């Protein structure tokens, strides 16, 4: 009996030790997205009162990253964590500044070194390091515990150059602080593009100084009739800077020639004579059906459209024959490009149901030239590929695989955002409290289990610029709403965009997203707890 008790006691100790070792292993800490290579080692690095950060390299961006890391560690541990260029136990080693996003992270018992040939790579290495600590590091309050990170080496780089998300701030407006909050959460997942859907039928959200009524009138409402809102150009510059510090590039979208009722409500002289009342679905449908006939009238009375607060689409269009239309577009692109350092300008182009085909082609091709004249590259929803695209311009695949193929055949790249996989506004299932389901119900496993490079025939990895997950906001009113629909699915899309396909595994993801869930919980992020995961 004594031998049995002794054997039982030993087995308990061994089991406890095994569990402890598993928790301390670098490949079991829940890094998101999964790195290309993780090699665990024995031992761990412990943050204590003597821990400091050394900058090896120069530049404002590197200094920001060091301060960013130090502040995260200070908030959790209460230690001073000084930053200098002399010596330190955590080293940020910028070998050059080539723009490289790859990085190496080496964790030893005495020192941690993050090295890269680009500052963005250093930043991504910092995000990985933070996730290697206990989840309590993400708590807003200091915690009195042992702050250890398991030893090992990570070698990592992204699969796609463009890894993004889209926020529709037109249907429901989101203030500057809400956008910054979203940027912070994106940055932790190594996403690097934020596409802002700034204009639609329901609201115009960016100040244009040469056309002030766009915000005075067009920005005054939203879906359901709320007060709306807009960003001043100073607000927008603030967002751009905040995002840039976290290596996220802003892509502004002005949707046209459809989805333009807010423009037509602001400037009646641009209106082709179709005034859509704010009514029920039947009224909207009838208006769409008769719109093309109305546009053919030779005697057009140009009056402001009524402001629109519904969610139906396809009824509005700019007048593609009116020179004033192109003056507005040129002014908008000029003013917005001047405060957008990123390379892309999104011209929309989707669901322009009442624009005649020939007029649509003429319009998109002319607008591409306007965008080019202001030094930007056009991105548009996949419908733009039915026109002749300028070299380098990008078609964003959301609905029609044939359109994506048209872009590829013209030698242009595709941005992958298939609605059935990547649309964050889709419900998880029929019981989801908000969201839509016209494309699909998208549970967490569905958002994860797809590969952009073989999603549609004829489009391979070389044809793909990257992956973007859009959030349309017909049903999104509050921050809680946003978080509920976006998380955890955005983490799944981030891994689709970052991690080599052969490394991705649903069972592994389920374990790691549960750990990520603890990080979100500590910050009161209102994420959806999918029944597919053991949280």
> What phi, psi does 386 have (nearest 5°)?
-80, -5
What is residue 467's three-state secondary structure? Answer: strand
Q: Is the dihedral of CA 484, 487, 449, 25 positive or negative?
A: negative
> What phi, psi does 30 have (nearest 5°)?
90, 45
- What's the rounded Cα separation, in Å, for the pair 273 and 319? 9
Q: What angle do CA 145, 150, 152 make, to 5 degrees?
A: 160
- Asked about 312 being catalytic, the answer comes back as no
- What's the rounded Cα separation, in Å, for the pair 512 and 38? 14
Q: What angle do CA 461, 376, 423 make, to 5 degrees?
A: 50
Count of CB atoms situated within 10 Å of the CB of 365: 14
Count of CB atoms situated within 10 Å of the CB of 382: 25
SS (H, E, C) 107-152: ECCCCEEEEECCHHHHHHHHHHHHHHCCHHHHCCCCCCCCEEEEEE
Q: State the residue for tokens 């990170």.
A: 149
- What's the rounded Cα separation, in Å, for the pair 122 and 302? 55
- What's the rounded Cα separation, in Å, for the pair 372 and 356? 24
Task: Choose, from 24, 136, 306, 351, the residue flagged as catalytic.
Answer: 351
Structure tokens belonging to residue 409: 């055949």
Q: Please choose, from the candidates 167, 200, 168, the residue with its C-alpha nearest in 3D space to the C-alpha of residue 182.
A: 167
H helix runs in 139-274, sequence order: 176-188, 213-216, 233-245, 261-266
- What's the rounded Cα separation, in Å, for the pair 150 and 419? 39
Q: State the residue for tokens 């546009």.
A: 295
Catalytic residues: 351
């Amino acid at each position: 009996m004594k031998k049995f008790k002794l054997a039982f006691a030993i087995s308990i100790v061994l089991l406890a030790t095994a569990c402890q070792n598993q928790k301390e292993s670098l490949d079991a800490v829940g890094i998101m997205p999964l790195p290309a290579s993780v090699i665990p080692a024995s031992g761990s690095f412990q943050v204590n009162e003597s821990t400091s950060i050394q900058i090896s390299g120069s530049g404002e961006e590197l200094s920001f990253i060091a301060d960013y890391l130090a502040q995260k560690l200070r908030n959790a541990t209460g230690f001073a964590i000084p930053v200098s260029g002399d010596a330190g136990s955590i080293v940020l080693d910028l070998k050059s500044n080539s723009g490289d996003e790859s990085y190496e992270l080496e964790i030893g018992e005495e020192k941690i070194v993050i090295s890269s040939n680009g500052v963005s790579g250093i930043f991504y290495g910092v995000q990985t390091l933070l996730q290697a600590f206990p989840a309590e590091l993400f708590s807003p309050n200091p915690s009195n515990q042992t702050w250890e990170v398991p030893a090992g080496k990570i070698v990592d780089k992204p699969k796609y150059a463009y890894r993004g998300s889209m926020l529709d701030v037109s249907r429901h407006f989101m203030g500057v602080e809400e956008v910054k909050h979203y940027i912070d959460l994106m940055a932790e997942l190594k996403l690097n593009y934020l596409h802002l859907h700034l204009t639609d039928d329901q609201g115009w959200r960016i100040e244009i100084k040469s056309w002030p009524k766009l915000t005075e009138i067009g920005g005054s409402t939203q879906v359901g009739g709320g007060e709306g809102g807009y960003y001043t150009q100073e607000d927008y510059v603030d967002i751009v800077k905040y995002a840039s510090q976290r290596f996220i590039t802003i892509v502004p979208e002005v949707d046209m020639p459809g989805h333009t009722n807010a423009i037509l409500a602001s400037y009646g002289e641009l209106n082709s004579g179709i005034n859509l009342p704010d009514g029920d679905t039947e009224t909207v449908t009838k208006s769409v059906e008769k719109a093309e006939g109305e546009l053919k009238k030779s005697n057009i009375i140009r009056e402001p459209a009524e402001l629109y607060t519904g969610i139906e689409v396809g009824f509005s269009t700019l007048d593609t024959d009116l020179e004033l239309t192109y003056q507005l577009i040129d002014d908008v692109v000029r003013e917005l490009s001047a405060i957008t350092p990123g390379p892309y300008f999104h011209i929309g182009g989707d669901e322009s149901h009442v624009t005649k085909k020939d007029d649509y082609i003429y319009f998109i091709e002319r607008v591409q030239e306007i965008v080019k004249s202001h030094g930007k590259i056009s991105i548009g929803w996949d419908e733009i590929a039915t026109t002749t695209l300028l070299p380098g311009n990008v078609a964003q695949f959301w609905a029609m695989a044939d359109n994506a193929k048209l872009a590829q055949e013209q030698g242009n790249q595709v941005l992958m955002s298939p609605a059935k996989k990547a649309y964050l506004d889709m419900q998880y299932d029929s019981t989801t409290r908000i969201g839509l389901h016209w494309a699909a119900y998208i549970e967490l496993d569905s958002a994860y289990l797809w590969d952009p490079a073989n999603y549609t025939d004829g489009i391979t990895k070389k044809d793909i610029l990257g992956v973007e997950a859009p959030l349309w906001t017909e049903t999104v009113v509050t921050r809680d709403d946003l978080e509920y629909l976006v998380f955890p699915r955005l983490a799944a899309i981030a891994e689709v965009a970052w991690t080599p396909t052969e490394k991705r595994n649903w069972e592994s993801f389920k374990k790691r997203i549960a750990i990520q869930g603890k990080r979100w919980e500590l910050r009161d992020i209102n994420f959806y707890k999918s029944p597919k995961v053991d949280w």
